[in-house]
Amino acid sequence: MQYRRFGKLDWQPSALGFGCMRLPTTGTPADIDEPEAMRMVHHAIEQGVNYVDTAYPYHGGNSESFLGRALKAGNYREKVRIASKLPCWLVETASDFDKYLNEQLSKIQIEHIDFYLLHALNKSSWEKMSALGIVSMAEKAVADGRIGHLGFSFHDSYEVFQEIVDAYDKWTFCQIQYNYMDIENQAGTRGLQYAAGKGLAIVIMEPLLGGRLVDPPERIQQLWNLAETTRSAPDWALQWLWNQPEVSVVLSGMSTMEQVEGNLASATASGVGTLSRKDLQVIDQVREMYQSLCPIPCTQCGYCMPCPNGVNIPRNFDVYNDGSIYDKPDWARNQYQQWIPVAERADQCIACQDCEQKCPQAIRISEWMPVVDNVLGAGRPYVSSL
């Protein structure tokens, strides 16, 4: 196992962190296959993984309890540092901070969480946490020993990310969605470098973009095949991250022992500056090819919003595009039907064309919306152009 810097701390995390969000299950996401999941977690720790990440809502609220049992079995607790997260969307009063933290400590069967994050911050949730004085509550928890270090995970624009980083000078770390496709999305490369320049450790989530960078379509695989070094698509994505000195630890939500073994092998071969110039050029070509497969030229600028009929236009386009780009139509349909509220879906469009007057890309939004719903809602074949 390779180990890396963690911001200003005198401690080195393993290059690979174990994310407890996609553990093997026996049915629904809440039904963790505990014997197999424990075998995977124990094996990863025995091979040198020392950073384990969980959160209040993972696996229907069962991830933290499972982790507590897994670490207690065989005395693995002393071999790792634990990260968990405050469910900010459930916090309504300052006292809710202690309520959820104490519940999480009880579930994990510990008295101290090494790394505690404000979960999934964006502009509105950060404003809410600030107004409630949650950071002050967290400082008290650090002082009394329930928390080791405070950080945050993030999903919003770079500008909001920089605002949050600058708002508090005692952040130890942050967790961002980052991979070779997201260099300009959310915090992006700019955010990675900005936070690292401020001394924060950077924890990476979604290194494989929720699995969308695994099993690439044939046109993408042909590009990988041209590289001087033979690697699997997941390994290329992971090595691209570990090649960057600002990256402290890369989380992977692993569902099978095969994935654990593959990621351990990748981590063992990792290091800053290990990719050649030609390797990086291939990755750039892969990114460009993926981008060329995007059917709707939406840049997520949001100028079309708000829709007078409540449609979340950028979100609908984003899910539709990702299903096409990564050749994952079933994934896209699941996202549309499970995660986009009914009132915000494409079928709510009444073709008023108000949005089309504002769109800098001149997208024929009112014509695309029924296509999006036909494909994602009714399961019809993908359409690449109007």
pLDDT digits (tens, 9 = 90+) for 219-233: 999 999 999 999 999
- Residue 74 inside a domain? The answer is yes
- Asked if the model's pLDDT at residue 39 lies above 90, the reply is yes
pLDDT digits (tens, 9 = 90+) for 234-248: 999 999 999 999 999
- Asked if the model's pLDDT at residue 271 lies above 90, the reply is yes
Domain identity same for 108 and 82: yes
Query: Position 265: which residue type?
Result: A
pLDDT digits (tens, 9 = 90+) for 40-83: 999 999 999 999 999 999 999 999 999 999 999 888 999 999 99
What single DSSP character describes residue 295? S
313 touches 207 (CB < 8 A): no
Q: What is the DSSP string of 6-44?
A: BTTBS---BSEEEETTS--BSSSTT-B-HHHHHHHHHHH
What pLDDT, on a 0 to 100 scale, did the predictor assign at position 15?
98
The range of the structural domain enclosing residue 322 comes to: 294-386
Tokens standing for residue 312:
């979340």
- Residue 11 inside a domain? The answer is no
* Mean pLDDT value across residues 254-270: 97
Categorize the per-residue pLDDT at 305 as very low, low, confident or very high, splitting at 50, 70 and 90.
Answer: very high
Domain CATH for 167 = 3.20.20.100
Tokens standing for residue 25:
């299950």
Query: Position 331: which residue type?
Result: W
Give one word for 215, left, alpha or beta, with left for phi > 0 and alpha for psi -120 to 50: left
- Residue 87 inside a domain? The answer is yes
- Residue 8 inside a domain? The answer is no
Q: How far apart are CA 349 and CA 317, in angstroms?
A: 13
Q: How far apart are CA 156 and CA 122, in angstroms?
A: 5
pLDDT digits (tens, 9 = 90+) for 118-177: 999 999 999 999 999 999 999 999 999 999 999 999 998 999 999 999 999 999 999 999
Domain identity same for 185 and 38: yes
Domain identity same for 186 and 308: no
- Residue 222 inside a domain? The answer is yes
* Mean pLDDT value across residues 336-358: 95
Q: Which residues of 136-167 are buried (b: 16+ CB within 10 A; e: fewer)?
A: ebbeebeeeebbbbbbbbbbbbbebbbebbee
Domain identity same for 61 and 133: yes
77 touches 43 (CB < 8 A): no
Domain identity same for 270 and 299: no
Alpha-carbon distance values, 188 to 193, 257, 326 (Å) = 9, 30, 20
- Residue 374 inside a domain? The answer is yes
Q: How many domains does the chain have?
A: 2
Alpha-carbon distance values, 82 to 204, 245, 292, 342, 366 (Å) = 15, 23, 40, 37, 48
Q: How far apart are CA 220 and CA 202, in angstroms?
A: 29
- Asked if the model's pLDDT at residue 361 lies above 90, the reply is no
Q: How far apart are the first and last CA of the chain?
A: 50
Domain identity same for 275 and 344: no
- Asked if the model's pLDDT at residue 283 lies above 90, the reply is yes
Burial class of 225 by CB neighbour count within 10 A (0 to 12, 13 to 18, 19+): exposed
290 touches 326 (CB < 8 A): yes
Burial class of 356 by CB neighbour count within 10 A (0 to 12, 13 to 18, 19+): middle
- Asked if the model's pLDDT at residue 84 lies above 90, the reply is yes
Categorize the per-residue pLDDT at 208 as very low, low, confident or very high, splitting at 50, 70 and 90.
Answer: very high
- Residue 1 inside a domain? The answer is no
Q: What are phi and psi of 19, to 5 degrees?
A: -90, 125
Q: Which residues contact 144 (CB under 8 A, 6 or more apart)?
A: none
Domain identity same for 303 and 272: no
Q: How far apart are CA 245 and CA 131, in angstroms?
A: 35
What pLDDT, on a 0 to 100 scale, did the predictor assign at position 352?
96
- Asked if the model's pLDDT at residue 302 lies above 90, the reply is no
Query: Of 238, 259, 283, at which residue does a domain stop?
Result: 283
- Residue 146 inside a domain? The answer is yes
Domain identity same for 379 and 325: yes
What pLDDT, on a 0 to 100 scale, did the predictor assign at position 210?
86
Query: Of 256, 283, 310, at which residue does a domain stop?
Result: 283
Domain identity same for 211 and 316: no
What pLDDT, on a 0 to 100 scale, did the predictor assign at position 299?
82
- Asked if the model's pLDDT at residue 190 lies above 90, the reply is yes
Count of helix runs (H) and strand runs (E) in the chain: 15, 8
Query: Of 283, 311, 332, at which residue does a domain stop?
Result: 283
| Largest separation between any pair of C-alpha atoms in the chain | 63
The rounded mean pLDDT for the chain is 95
Domain identity same for 313 and 276: no
What pLDDT, on a 0 to 100 scale, did the predictor assign at position 74?
82
Domain identity same for 349 and 257: no
What pLDDT, on a 0 to 100 scale, did the predictor assign at position 297?
87
What pLDDT, on a 0 to 100 scale, did the predictor assign at position 300?
83
- Dihedral of alpha carbons 92, 93, 94, 97, sign: negative
Categorize the per-residue pLDDT at 385 as very low, low, confident or very high, splitting at 50, 70 and 90.
Answer: confident
Q: Which of 171, 161, 164 is nearest to 192 (CA)?
A: 161
Q: What pTM did the predictor assign? A: 0.89
Q: How far apart are CA 112 and CA 68, in angstroms?
A: 12
Can you list the positions of beta strands (E) in the chain?
16-19, 51-53, 81-86, 113-121, 147-154, 173-177, 201-205, 249-253
